[in-house]
Amino acid sequence: MKIAVVGATGLVGGEILKVLAERNFPVTELIPVASERSVGKKITFKGTEYTIVSFEDAIAAKPAIAIFSAGGSTSLALAPKFAEAGITVIDNSSAWRMDPTKKLVVPEINAHTLTKEDKIIANPNCSTIQMVVVLNPLHQKFRIKRVVVSTYQSVTGTGKAAVDQLFAEREGRTDTPKVYPHPIDLNVLPHIDVFLDNGYTKEEMKMTNETKKIMMDDSIAVTATTVRIPTIGGHSEAVNVEFENEYELSEIYDILSKADNVVVQDDPANKVYPMPLTAHGKDETFVGRIRRDESQPKTLNMWIVADNLRKGAATNAVQIAEYLMQHDLV
């Protein structure tokens, strides 16, 4: 199984390599790909050194799967070229997510829709992934009418330069380029991605639109406020869910405790609840602070946390690759 990782030198690219190794994905040959300035440099994967190659050389090597984490413009330009060569692309950018001809996949929810004909598969937005993994099993039982979500997102979601900015500010240094319009250390920015004409940010509308597509239900109303905070371990979300059907809290706990790759951490008496610090480096999605919304019927509050570089990006992409391999779809 030849695997190309496009954007191998970035934060998510590095995490993809780590996840492939940890999950013992049967890589027979790794093809690390990056921009022209990185070609010829070396990376190590499972104790073996590999040379970073160009996009052209990667296509010529004919990997079965190429996992892209190189930004939207790169994906738009190059994913079709890989696909035309018969290579299945799993793309981490926003480039293909809302394309009606492309599948937007969270394996726990809709991997069963994939076929051999799907040569470009979109990996959803990190904040959407962790939310829908928890919401979908509840939707199957109680039918979700409306979701109100506020996110508390790690600087790692912006990339290495954002992490550098945070720590430079913390150390009082001014020698690092700024990727945010304001200081991030000791601050909170209600601003992720660009603002749109409707007053929402692109990130907020991603959560709205992607949720409907992944869960295959356009009737679910979603409204989001996405916020950047000075953490590095993962993204957190306060999620308020209104159902069509009444529920018992015991049913919620039972469903979520059995859901694939969901871990319930909910023991307030002992101060147990999900946190980025404890989710960091893990593949599961963690949920806690589960409680009835006492202001209106059939409504639930939850706190959801996941490592955005893992389940929010790398792990989800590798899980898609695992599904393709296990079901002979590449």
pLDDT value for 48? 94
What's the pLDDT score for residue 33? 96
Beta carbons of 277 and 254 less than 8 angstroms apart = no
Residues 6 or more apart whose Cβ sits within 8 Å of residue 250: none
Q: Which is the catalytic residue, given 112, 139, 182, 235? A: 235
Upper half-sphere CA count for residue 326 (Cβ side, 13 Å): 11
Note the pLDDT of residue 276: 97
**Full set of structural domains in the chain with CATH:** 2-123+313-326 (3.40.50.720), 127-308 (3.30.360.10)
280 an active-site residue? Answer: no
Active-site residue (options: 112, 126, 191, 327): 126
Q: For the chain, which ranges sit under pLDDT 50? A: none
**8 Å CB contact between 305 and 234:** yes
d(CA 10, CA 67): 13
Question: Can you tell me whether residue 9 is helix, strand or coil?
Answer: coil
* Whole-number pLDDT of residue 73: 93
Verdict on whether the full-model pTM lies above 0.75? yes
CB 167 within 8 A of CB 186: no
pLDDT digits (tens, 9 = 90+) for 247-299: 999 999 999 999 999 999 999 999 999 999 999 999 999 999 999 999 999 99
Verify whether residue 182 is a known catalytic residue.
no
**pLDDT attached to residue 172:** 96
pLDDT of residue 150: 98
User: DSSP state, 139?
Assistant: H
User: In whole angstroms, how far apart are CA 89 and each of 65, 82, 179, 245, 330?
Assistant: 6, 7, 29, 39, 10
Kindly report the number of other CB atoms within 10 A of residue 99's CB atom.
Answer: 11
Cα 234 from Cα 263, distance rounded (Å):
15
Residue 244 is predicted with a pLDDT of: 98
Kindly give, in sequence order, each residue whose CB lies less than 8 Å from that of residue 84, ignoring residues fewer than 6 positions away.
Answer: none
Tokens read off for 258: 């059995």
